[in-house]
Amino acid sequence: MNASDIVQACLFFGTLLLLTPPLGKFMFQVFEGQRHLLSFLAPVERWLYRLSGISAEAEMRWQQYAGAMLWFNLLGLVAVLALQTLQGWLPLNPQRLPGVPFWLAFNTAASFVTNTNWQAYSGENTMSYLTQMLGLTVQNFLSAASGMAVLLALVRGLTRRKTHLLGNFWVDVTRITLYVLLPLSLILAVLLVSQGVVQTLAPYVTATTVEGGHQVIPLGPAASQIAIKQLGTNGGGFFGVNSAHPFENPTPFTNFLEILGLMLIPAALTYSFGLLVGRRRHGWCLFAAMALLFLGGFLLAWSAETSTNPVTGLSLNLEGKEVRFGVMPSVYWATATTGTSCGAVNCMHDSLSPLAGMVASVNMMLGEIVFGGVGSGLYGMLLFVILTVFLAGLMVGRTPEYLGKKIEAREMIWTIVGILAPGVVMLLGTAVACLLPAARSSIANPGPHGFTEMLYAFASAAANNGSAFAGLNASTTFYNAGLAVAMLVGRFAVKIPVLIIAGSLAARKFTPPNSGTFPTDGLTFLAILIGVIVIVGALTFFPALLLGPVAEHVLMLRGTAF
């Protein structure tokens, strides 16, 4: 560690902290339908409702909200699947790329619809410009908006009294896309283009090398997709190596912007949440819990990457890192991208030291709540909050309450389902992969590192992260189909319980706080919340981690590498 790295790390997090209140307040104004900086776009919003036949005043029960969300995502899946398989006959395909094979196309469609953006392909060799723009980039916006909409439904469940109505899914998605995601993406895309990120519809260029050979240089409308892949915590790269490619991430400034972009909205949503529920200190408490988990993981990973490796004898692990920027920005990015469910990468996670790789894995195993995905990270954290206040209530012998709503058996059943469903998929999928010779044959490394490759793949899919540990050939029928199922279950087995909880709480009356109410804006609550998260994660995944990164770390200390 040196002074420059410390300054950069502080700059990354300090800028995030500085921008959280203004962006959080702006999103609060958008969500509440108040006047805001972009209110001049209101005629466009109304025109979209008229065009779609939507009544902005009509609200939905949780069943209707969930139904609209599911149909919306199903339509997106079918559209992206069709675009991929038919791209050989469609325009904006200057390289004349053929249609994508079905199982790979299905995997990719499920990936982008669920905000996972797992990529078992190389974008420049597989997807046409039309598929990248109309299919993948559009889903980057819509899947992010869908996650934020579910969060808004849960907020209304917490704040409304004796009602069955949770708002209108179509209105929420429209406002989020029009006022939040599109403007921020436009600003970031322009900044990226100014630094040299490509944005063109021109065909690929063939260059003559110094040795007299020929090299095809891929181009395309990359900046527009990169902006929303970061801001929407999507992560799907335009090029195969994602943000390690100089056309996606050419300068230290773009590296800074892209790291900031992937954390910005999830962090700011904690401030928006505090304003929406009328308890700003509670919003900051949630921010603090996420920040402490993030910083703890980052410091452990950074320490591991700058400690002497007994196998190589080197004190700095440069293998697989983004050497243009250094070890610290690569480790910070790896920690941030696995914590926020973004999945974009600027280094090879397969080359991380065992403990740093474990941090990336644990971030996903905790349910992507270390800031997490846009919307999904906060509603995932709120499930842990509900579990925490329930346990606190049991300890003092009181009926648990959260923000004036009593937490009863129905909410706890669905809270446990939402927390544990992704973990079940991660462990079950890994177990099946270990048993099948066809799945094991995809492993590039033996021993615990190979086990970690499989565990990481299913964790990335079920947590809707999308980053790859690499070293694993995931472009097979088993992994294309298996990981697609893991993505769908990991997304909707959390979304639907959250909406059920929202509907249940909205129908409850408000209970004023009293001397026996457990406060949720102090250090005691913060400590218990973090403790619950860590304990649940350890009980669920510690045995699997022992077989993978922990075993590899112990063997590395004895001089064995994989």
Is residue 398 pLDDT above 80, yes or no? no
> Helices H, strands E: what count in the chain?
21, 4
Global confidence as pTM? 0.95
Coil, strand, or helix at residue 215?
strand
Q: Stretch 140-144: mean pLDDT, rounded? A: 96
Average pLDDT over residues 459-488: 92
Q: What confidence score (pLDDT) does residue 237 get?
A: 87
Instruction: State what percent of residues in the chain have pLDDT above 90.
Output: 81
Q: Residue 474: pLDDT above 90?
A: no
**Vertex 298 angle, CA 292 and 302, to 5°:** 150
Bridge partners (DSSP) listed for residue 214: 208
Query: Could you tell me where the DSSP H helices lie in 32-137?
Result: 42-52, 62-86, 102-113, 123-126, 129-130
At which residue do the structure tokens 């990529």 appear? Answer: 119
- Mean pLDDT, range 418-426, rounded to an integer: 96
| Euclidean distance between CA atoms 365 and 422, whole angstroms | 8
CA distances from 357 to 82, 481, 500 (A): 36, 25, 35
At 471 the pLDDT is: 82
The predicted-structure confidence for 74-92, as pLDDT tens digits, reads as follows: 999 999 999 999 999 999 9
**pLDDT > 70: what percent of the chain?**
100
Cβ atoms of 116 and 465 closer than 8 Å? yes
pLDDT of residue 310: 86
pLDDT classification of 403: cutoffs 50, 70, 90: very high
pLDDT tens-digit map of 477-517: 999 999 999 999 999 999 999 999 999 999 999 888 777 77
pLDDT (mean) for 100-106: 94
In the predicted model, what is the mean pLDDT of residues 435-446?
Answer: 90
Q: Per-residue confidence at 1, pLDDT binned at 50, 70, 90?
A: low
In this prediction, residues 251-262 reach a mean pLDDT of 95
Span of 136-145, 280-289, 306-315, 461-470 with lowest mean pLDDT = 306-315
When mean pLDDT is compared over 67-71, 243-247, 438-442, the highest value belongs to: 67-71
Half-sphere exposure of 96 (CA within 13 A, CB side): 0
Lowest mean pLDDT among 39-48, 145-154, 220-229, 393-402: 393-402
Element holding 239 (H helix, E strand): none
Answer yes or no: is pLDDT of 108 > 70.
yes
Q: Residue 510: helix, strand or coil by DSSP?
A: coil
Range scoring the smallest mean pLDDT among 125-129, 313-317, 445-449: 313-317
Torsion angle, alpha carbons of 277, 281, 284, 288, to 10 = -130
State pLDDT tens for residues 310-327. Answer: 888 777 888 888 788 889
Structure tokens at 157: 């469940």
- What does the alpha-carbon distance between residue 39 and residue 52 come to, in Å, rounded to a whole number? 20
Which pLDDT band, with edges at 50, 70 and 90, does 35 fall under? very high
Averaged over 22-48, what is the pLDDT?
96
Contact of 466 with 236, CB cutoff 8 Å = yes
Average pLDDT, integer, range 375-379: 96
Grouping H, G, I as helix, E, B as strand and the rest as coil, residue 374 is coil
Parallel, antiparallel, or unpaired for β 214-217 and 405-406?
Answer: unpaired
CA–CA separation, 494 and 417 (whole Å)? 7
Q: Does 245 have pLDDT greater than 80?
A: yes
Q: Tokens for 556?
A: 């590395």
What is the Cα–Cα distance from 47 to 258, expressed in whole angstroms?
Answer: 33
pLDDT of residue 197 exceeding 90: yes
C-alpha closest to that of 253 among 481, 1, 516, 8: 8
Average pLDDT over the chain, rounded to whole? 93
Identify each DSSP E strand in 152-289 by its residue range: 205-208, 214-217
